[in-house]
Structure 1
Amino acid sequence: MEQKFVIYNTLKREKEVFEPLHPPHVGMYVCGPTVYGDGHLGHTRPAITFDLLFRYLTHIGYKVRYVRNITDVGHLENDADEGEDKIAKKARLEQLEPMEVVQYYTIRYHKAMEALNVLSPSIEPHASGHIIEQITTIQEILNNGYAYESNGSVYFDVVKYNKKHNYGILSHRNIEEMLNTTRDLDGQDEKRSKVDFALWKKASPEHIMRWPSPWSEGFPGWHIECSSMSMKYLGTEFDIHGGGLDLMFPHHECEIAQNTAAENKQVVKYWMHNNMITIGGQKMGKSLGNFITLNEFFTGSHKLLSQAFSPMTVRFFILQAHYRSTVDFSNDALLASEKGLNRLLDAYARIDKVPISETSSVDIASIRQKCYDALNDDLNSAITISYLFDVATTINSAIGGTAALTQGDIDEVKALFDIFLFEILGIKNEASSNENGLETFSKAIDLLLQIRAEAKANKDWATSDKIRDELNKIGFDIKDGKDGAEWKLKS
């Protein structure tokens, strides 16, 4: 059945039916990381959000070219036009070449994404590898009269641009208000207006990362990389641009201005933004010092964590909320996510134990479309997961004898998990990731339980209790039922 996907367009602040410019092909660009330090949970949310979108659009039949950039030059401290480059600062402090810093943290980022089961994008361009393209885009903006050179730097003329176009179209900010509220910075005298932003910066003598250009030896501003690389790989009109809500202003607002100034048209059709992860109601971020790195989640080494949490628990925690809603982190919330995920995976593992009935007492057939309906409504993973919990309850009820499922129902239940939990939501079924080892492991436990059953039949209660107690000590839950003992790993 063809699925009609509805997307929330941040540019228009409303939902609209997704209609690609060149179906079945979809161009999608997402702002990736600035690779100068270990990622935290807030950085993880856009990666997982747009991985979900990538997976879902592919699943419903689109051919998606997914471009996610690596920022490794030009991102100055405090997102301003002055200060030190974040990569260069890290390199100076650690006495490394800047590209050593980039390589080290890019590898760590990729390992974290692999652990979280985030698919690799189609193309992952580095800003430092596209200096020529950025210079070309800047020259186009200059030629069209929306930028000016000042002391070897090039700035975007926001005031002039706003006379013909709307600077603030995405964030709904008023330029007069910005002029009154934007703080003065060092080097402000180079700009015609304090709201103007850098396209190219002349490098100071101590600046490490620098390239030749028509204006000076220097480096590109932060915003120009995404305009240049997105249009290089997706063309001057493409479908989706995504990123975190914190990038809406100034980064994405500046991108729209650059794109329009260079091409004299809107380049992006749909803008998508995931909301923030908060901690104690405050945005999680490095600048606030309240972040927890992914490695700390995976090892449980942070003071706010009671234990280590698996990558799949972290992924599930993020997917349990709609991507446009704020998610407040707490240790208890992660524990609840771990318990919920284990409940789904346990139910999936027990599907083969469901007794087959001639008739059905539950309407399983309609749930598949309900899951699609939830995802078609602006990617509502939270509602999709709620339906999967309903299915898990049905599995357990059928095994307990309070629900009846036919063979067709059982096949559909398995398909629901395979399609929505594993393929689209991207949860790895780690219990089946090593099937041969798991099968051997399961047979060993089953053999112990068989020996225990024989001991019970012979009224050898000491042996029976010893097997149960020792398995319990090393992490197994043993439950006796009318059809024999069942086991599972403790959560």
Structure 2
Amino acid sequence: MDSKFVIYNTHSRKKETFQPIHPDKVGMYVCGPTVYGDAHLGHARPAITFDILFRYLQHLGFKVRYVRNITDVGHLVNDGDEGEDKIAKKAKLDALEPMEVVQQYTNSYHKNMNDLNILPPSIEPTATGHIIEQIEVIEELINKGYAYVSNGSVYFDVRKYANDHTYGELSGRKIEDMLVNTRELDGQCEKHFGLDFALWKNAQPEHIMRWPSPWGEGFPGWHTECTAMSSKYLGDRFDIHGGGMDLMFPHHEAELAQAKACHGHDHVNYWMHNNMITINGQKMGKSLGNFITLDQLFEGKHELLEQSYDPMTIRFFILQAHYRSPLDFSNTALQAAEKGYQRLMQAIQNIELLTPSKSSTIDTDGLMNRCYEAINDDMNTPILIAHLFDGVKTINLIKEGSQKATQEDIDALRELFHTLAINVLGLKASTEGDQQADVLSNVMDLLLDIRSEAKANKDWATSDKIRNQLKEAGLVIKDTKDGAEWHIQ
């Protein structure tokens, strides 16, 4: 284990040196999607963030059990304890069985994740596949006095929990402040207290997703699933729990409270949350109707898009902001990411074209140290990318002959870029990128032939025009004794 790896713990609100529970193993649980619609750009951020964490922990030598759930029941349309189940509502609209909706969008999600080069998790449990485990958690909470039955539903007793523990410790909220924003209870409400949340809901006759339980037919609450599944696959204490910042309250706060009430102690050592992707400063999401699906991004089929974007451009765009910082969508930012990604991949290809010298004028050790300092500092991908581009500049200077590198230097550059850009950041040359590179190479060969012919005929105006206009387009020509070479700036 590299003791220099530091991550920000949302629970403690500070950076901490990562120390796993077991010396060679890491347990990690991340909240996955609710599968009632196509994945959008906002879904890509947590998937990529925790994919990089998964990759880097494995690079450090850990055996990682990465659990990412699929929510396929219990998430209600108002994100509270009332209303229709989101998947059941979608099933009614489309005249499908709920599990057809689940399968359709799970398949679509997996395809999008594969396009983005996101590694599959070790285990991907579903809420509907763990109804028994959720009932067992609820029974334990009732037995310990932290839950109560009301009209066939079961609620978590927040006041009872707050007497014994601190409710709101993850999000930093206080019960008194939360009560101000909670509706007053009337005599008909099932809850004893406005902040109590559903562990199990009694199914009304029209509710189509329902299971038998000790309290009658019903379905689990949204928060119960993650407590049950993380405990089953990672135990009652594990290393990392991740998800989007929008899940911190109420979802993760409820998880923390349920688990502590069940086990008597915190069940997670490090809570990690990625920030949101925004459009004009507003969170991107289905409920706000301002989202762009990943398929629309890849195909360029949305009114906000000026073009289609390769999945690796999307991945590179997301990596250019620290995972805890907001990231605002724009075509300008995506187009800049596209150019940066192409420059990086071109430089990796150029490593294979470098000619070694007997002496060196570059500092590969310093570059490597700076790169690892960045990734070790709470996965600071924008700083890591900046250092990698220092390496890109060095590679291009070596190729041009302005710098010298030994074979050892070239091997070190190859290893650095392969390890951090390819294996850890998860970037790869796309099929579309390969096709574009082939087309560009053929066009450049043609233009260099025309320019060479113009020079032979002493047509300096045509020769200079080709060189200057290509430079304006970001393509630099260098004349050598063996002919002409070109590279992307």
Q: Is the shorter-chain TM-score for this pair beyond 0.5, marking a shared fold?
A: yes
2:287 equivalent in structure 1: 287
> What's the CA shift for 1:229?
0.2
**Would the alpha carbon gap of residues 383 and 285 (structure 1) be closer, same or farther in structure 2, given more than 3 Å must change?**
same
1:123 equivalent in structure 2: 123
Q: How does 1:29-428 map to 2 (within 5 A)?
A: 29-183=29-183, 189-428=189-428
Stretches of structure 1 lacking an aligned partner (at least 5 in a row): none
> What's the CA shift for 1:376?
1.1
> What's the CA shift for 1:485?
3.8
Are 1:422 and 1:429, in contact at CA under 8 Å, matched by a contact in 2? no
CA distance in structure 2 between the partners assigned to 1:125 and 1:187 by the alignment: 39
Cα RMSD, aligned residues only: 2.8
**Would the alpha carbon gap of residues 187 and 213 (structure 1) be closer, same or farther in structure 2, given more than 3 Å must change?**
farther
1:240 counterpart SS class: strand
> What's the CA shift for 1:486?
4.1
CA distance in structure 2 between the partners assigned to 1:443 and 1:341 by the alignment: 17
How many corresponding residue pairs?
480
CA distance in structure 1 between the partners assigned to 2:212 and 2:232 by the alignment: 21
**Would the alpha carbon gap of residues 424 and 321 (structure 1) be closer, same or farther in structure 2, given more than 3 Å must change?**
same
> What's the CA shift for 1:400?
2.6
- Match for 1:484: what amino acid? G
> What's the CA shift for 1:430?
2.8
**Would the alpha carbon gap of residues 188 and 346 (structure 1) be closer, same or farther in structure 2, given more than 3 Å must change?**
farther
CA distance in structure 1 between the partners assigned to 2:47 and 2:437 by the alignment: 33
1:241 counterpart SS class: strand
Between 393-402 and 341-350, report the one with greater CA deviation: 393-402
2:219 counterpart SS class: strand
1:192 counterpart SS class: coil
- Match for 1:481: what amino acid? D
Are 1:82 and 1:185, in contact at CA under 8 Å, matched by a contact in 2? no
Are 2:310 and 2:432, in contact at CA under 8 Å, matched by a contact in 1? no
- Match for 2:17: what amino acid? V
Between 368-377 and 246-255, report the one with greater CA deviation: 368-377
**Would the alpha carbon gap of residues 18 and 2 (structure 1) be closer, same or farther in structure 2, given more than 3 Å must change?**
closer
> What's the CA shift for 1:2?
4.0
> What's the CA shift for 1:352?
3.0
TM-superposition CA deviations, 1:290-321 (whole Å, max 9, x none): 11111111111112211111000000111111
CA distance in structure 2 between the partners assigned to 1:52 and 1:224 by the alignment: 27
1:393 counterpart SS class: helix
1:484 equivalent in structure 2: 483
**Would the alpha carbon gap of residues 399 and 185 (structure 1) be closer, same or farther in structure 2, given more than 3 Å must change?**
farther
Are 1:476 and 1:487, in contact at CA under 8 Å, matched by a contact in 2? no
TM-superposition CA deviations, 1:96-151 (whole Å, max 9, x none): 00000000000000000000000000000000000000000000000000000000
**Would the alpha carbon gap of residues 439 and 249 (structure 1) be closer, same or farther in structure 2, given more than 3 Å must change?**
closer
Are 2:28 and 2:241, in contact at CA under 8 Å, matched by a contact in 1? yes
CA distance in structure 2 between the partners assigned to 1:178 and 1:446 by the alignment: 64
**Would the alpha carbon gap of residues 24 and 444 (structure 1) be closer, same or farther in structure 2, given more than 3 Å must change?**
same
TM-superposition CA deviations, 1:422-457 (whole Å, max 9, x none): 0000001236998xx999989978986897698679
| TM-score, length basis structure 2 | 0.91
Are 1:66 and 1:122, in contact at CA under 8 Å, matched by a contact in 2? yes
TM-superposition CA deviations, 1:241-271 (whole Å, max 9, x none): 0000000000000001100111111111110
CA distance in structure 1 between the partners assigned to 2:441 and 2:43 by the alignment: 41
CA distance in structure 2 between the partners assigned to 1:326 and 1:303 by the alignment: 23
- Match for 1:213: what amino acid? S
Are 2:3 and 2:17, in contact at CA under 8 Å, matched by a contact in 1? no
| TM-score, length basis structure 1 | 0.91
- Match for 2:55: what amino acid? R
- Match for 2:483: what amino acid? G
**Would the alpha carbon gap of residues 362 and 140 (structure 1) be closer, same or farther in structure 2, given more than 3 Å must change?**
same
- Match for 1:107: what amino acid? N
Are 1:188 and 1:194, in contact at CA under 8 Å, matched by a contact in 2? no
> What's the CA shift for 1:34?
0.2
Are 2:185 and 2:193, in contact at CA under 8 Å, matched by a contact in 1? no
1:18 equivalent in structure 2: 18
1:37 counterpart SS class: coil
> What's the CA shift for 1:4?
2.6
CA distance in structure 1 between the partners assigned to 2:337 and 2:439 by the alignment: 26
- Match for 1:368: what amino acid? M
1:288 counterpart SS class: coil
**Would the alpha carbon gap of residues 418 and 66 (structure 1) be closer, same or farther in structure 2, given more than 3 Å must change?**
same
Are 1:82 and 1:187, in contact at CA under 8 Å, matched by a contact in 2? no
**Would the alpha carbon gap of residues 185 and 404 (structure 1) be closer, same or farther in structure 2, given more than 3 Å must change?**
farther
1:286 counterpart SS class: coil
CA distance in structure 1 between the partners assigned to 2:128 and 2:76 by the alignment: 14
CA distance in structure 1 between the partners assigned to 2:351 and 2:454 by the alignment: 28
CA distance in structure 2 between the partners assigned to 1:187 and 1:277 by the alignment: 41
**Would the alpha carbon gap of residues 431 and 141 (structure 1) be closer, same or farther in structure 2, given more than 3 Å must change?**
same
Between 475-484 and 294-303, report the one with greater CA deviation: 475-484
> What's the CA shift for 1:188?
6.3
2:128 counterpart SS class: helix
CA distance in structure 2 between the partners assigned to 1:258 and 1:323 by the alignment: 27
Are 2:3 and 2:18, in contact at CA under 8 Å, matched by a contact in 1? no
CA distance in structure 2 between the partners assigned to 1:137 and 1:316 by the alignment: 40
> What's the CA shift for 1:93?
0.3
CA distance in structure 2 between the partners assigned to 1:185 and 1:389 by the alignment: 58
Are 1:3 and 1:60, in contact at CA under 8 Å, matched by a contact in 2? no
Between 442-451 and 239-248, report the one with greater CA deviation: 442-451
> What's the CA shift for 1:481?
2.7
CA distance in structure 2 between the partners assigned to 1:442 and 1:307 by the alignment: 19
